[in-house]
Structure 1
């Protein structure tokens, strides 16, 4: 058969764009469809705009707590949300245009419209056109999870809408305990919003190392964020210029806004997967180690598969798919020791096994941990601590986990991840000469 395209990609986020461009570079005729904006979650309403908000929110603490201890006298300070919002959205638009241009320069045909699978080789666009493709790649990412059981959930906002608010509320209740909820709690508090975080679990940041969880929780309280654990939101009811938020513990909290940050679910709704018989498992598209679905010519990468939901992972999955199918080089993504960060304040960097998981997997382990007040704030009254932890397999002294809470932790963990990925030992860490004075030197001096 002849097809309109060798590859049709549904979803122009990080994974889909990388797959499309690489497939085109291997000589494939490629098309990509995106119903919203080119760039996907990360560029449009995720990592990139969020990091700008993180930067903006850190100035408050620096102005009021850190700068005076270094002799700076700062007068009245003010913040204008609309200025920040508009400048961030301008940058988002610029990056989206770059993604669009790069796709075009790679020879990829772009359809800025919704696409739905009709069968294993045909796709219908929202304008009615039907196109054929030898291979279909689904890269539609995820969408905020809004639970039906919360009465009045339609009154809440998700992480998608935070970036576009007309004005910041005086107060907000954030429901969730994962990295999205934590990051926005710090951001909004830093921008002057009274923040209450409600989480159903006993401790925030489930699946992270226990030392990280405790440290971030303590930092939230120190920054004036109220944290309520072991509670859910049962109901959100409008009142005056805000909402009464009814909790499962019986408490009622008034807030100007309610943010539901309860994670994201794979975006599979309305894709027509059933038309081709694509299998779904636990709400995600089920794929094998090469990102292939149960249908031989249909693949999926990124958050829609719910493996490791990080932008760099989606990019590597997209690249591996393109190399496998269009460059005759079977390639699998390696999911071991993938580093990640939480842009709390101070931020988190982590790679490898937690202490709990390492004990369960190996039995005998050694743990090296330090907690100290960093030099940058030593002249101030800020009591924030840095926490660093190495988890070492006792049988061969290999470092199997590194966990950091402190300024520049994400930058440090990127480098530490190389060592963990390479299987370096604690002795090799120790043999590395320190750079002084730095926080990172503690990683090679722990005893």
Structure 2
């Protein structure tokens, strides 16, 4: 081991590959009985065995076979308490990003029907336009099933073996799983844990029996009706947003703050914009129990921070109180893999066991985002089998919250920048703006807002960019590349915008919070 870099050198396919692990001073000791410190010369069924057929695991397996390795993927979906299950592809494809974005789009189209009238579109009987939940559900599920099928075909074409079974560790190189054909045992030179996570259920009477989660919502047979969403993270807010947009009564129960971990000024604007559209919020509240009534309605009891109790009836209780990594089910102790509160504290995707790696939502302190898992999986495969040394960079990863008005961000929040650099060492540029689309019909600009957090030194390196407005996700992607390239305010202000677009507002921002000047727009071209 190189004491300077904290690296192990393994031989793989005749090429030396470097895998960075924890430095020698804080390296976790692992029993030699559980782990072979050198794998050179050992024969295994596969070069890479992946546990989990989601985005990160599949990306790693496909990249590995492209580099000449022999790989297989174990994947099995345990049904939810109400029996929902799905196919190959993981959370994103089946019960996450993809169906969420499609339903978000469905809600936006409903709003567009109203907007169209102001542009001269004559829509007969527009006031009676109704949404058909069943038709939308079928379209969404048909798309998901097509992706499931394409994924299986792609694995076959890339010569990745797919094993439909729930794999657990027998030792650091051996996995066992029960399949339809019986018990299957395989060995792997390297093992990759990519099992992701599943929603948590609050420990209250009736939650598991009568509540649903995002694992169930997108394939729900019947329209959800009046819905209580418990949880104000991005999943809860996105679901409440599109449910409201589809015409359903939606209420969000907030334990503490909205969008914990995100910029809190932006979170407050998101709340205000959703309230303006009809979503209701219950602040400082916790659910206490759920009961099913004779008419199949759900009676939910909750209390606030003053100890007061309340009850109301709903058609659907959607639980969005967080997710847990699916590590406890893997028998990690048999391999010697250490976890921290269900998460794996890996260094450059390598666990404390040299031949066992992890990517995606199981990792401690890393962004729980599909593109992050995919990129990390590909880079890991290239290091293991392609003589690469390039490591995953988890800093400045852009993301978007797909609320009715989207919130896109990259880099530090204002709070995080103040904590890291001090309030006197940063500058916050901000502006309200009016998208051209908001002129006809006239819409309020109170919720269209952006800010750029920058260092005060030199050319003012950009530390974070945040924007709320239509198509925020599309905008922030391009600026994320600039931030990765050390964008400065000097460069941003010298960039010519595309007019009239929302993205150009970033190139025109020039008012600082410190100045106290009015950040509201004077005209469309100011």
Map of 1:40 onto structure 2:
90
Q: How does 1:35-114 map to 2 (within 5 A)?
A: 35-36=76-77, 37-64=87-114, 66-74=115-123, 75=125, 76-114=128-166
> CA contact under 8 A between 2:328 and 2:342: conserved in structure 1?
no
Structure 2 residue 28 is the aligned partner of structure 1 residue 28: no
Q: What RMSD in Å do the two structures reach over aligned CA positions? A: 1.4
Q: How does 1:325-404 map to 2 (within 5 A)?
A: 325-363=384-422, 364-384=425-445, 385-396=447-458, 397-404=460-467
Q: TM-score, with normalisation over the residues of structure 1?
A: 0.96
Which one of 472, 476, 481 corresponds to residue 418 of structure 1?
A: 481
Task: Report the secondary structure of 1:400's partner residue.
Answer: strand
Structure 2 residue 52 is the aligned partner of structure 1 residue 11: yes
Task: Report the secondary structure of 1:72's partner residue.
Answer: coil
Map of 2:264 onto structure 1:
210
Where do 5+ consecutive residues of structure 1 fail to align?
none
CA distance in 2, matches of 1:429, 1:345: 28
Task: Report the secondary structure of 1:415's partner residue.
Answer: helix
Distance change in 2, residues 1:410/1:152 (3 Å)? closer
Distance change in 2, residues 1:287/1:156 (3 Å)? same
> CA contact under 8 A between 1:242 and 1:254: conserved in structure 2?
yes
Q: How does 1:128-277 map to 2 (within 5 A)?
A: 128-149=183-204, 151-201=206-256, 203-239=257-293, 240-249=295-304, 250-277=309-336
> CA contact under 8 A between 1:116 and 1:123: conserved in structure 2?
yes
> CA contact under 8 A between 1:13 and 1:40: conserved in structure 2?
yes
CA distance in 2, matches of 1:45, 1:429: 37
CA distance in 2, matches of 1:373, 1:253: 38
Where do 5+ consecutive residues of structure 2 fail to align?
1-41, 78-86, 511-526
Structure 2 residue 353 is the aligned partner of structure 1 residue 295: yes
Which shifted more, 377-386 or 275-284? Answer: 377-386
CA deviation after TM superposition for structure 1 residue 165, in Å: 1.0
CA distance in 1, matches of 2:224, 2:151: 33
> CA contact under 8 A between 2:433 and 2:505: conserved in structure 1?
no
> CA contact under 8 A between 1:150 and 1:233: conserved in structure 2?
no
> CA contact under 8 A between 2:448 and 2:469: conserved in structure 1?
yes
Q: TM-score, with normalisation over the residues of structure 2?
A: 0.82
Task: Report the secondary structure of 1:284's partner residue.
Answer: coil
Which shifted more, 171-180 or 2-11? Answer: 2-11
CA distance in 2, matches of 1:105, 1:21: 10
Count of equivalent residues: 444
CA deviation after TM superposition for structure 1 residue 150, in Å: 5.3
CA deviation after TM superposition for structure 1 residue 237, in Å: 1.2
> CA contact under 8 A between 1:352 and 1:402: conserved in structure 2?
yes
Question: C-alpha deviations, 1:335-366, integer Å up to 9, x for none?
Answer: 11100000001101000111111122122111
Which shifted more, 411-420 or 269-278? Answer: 269-278
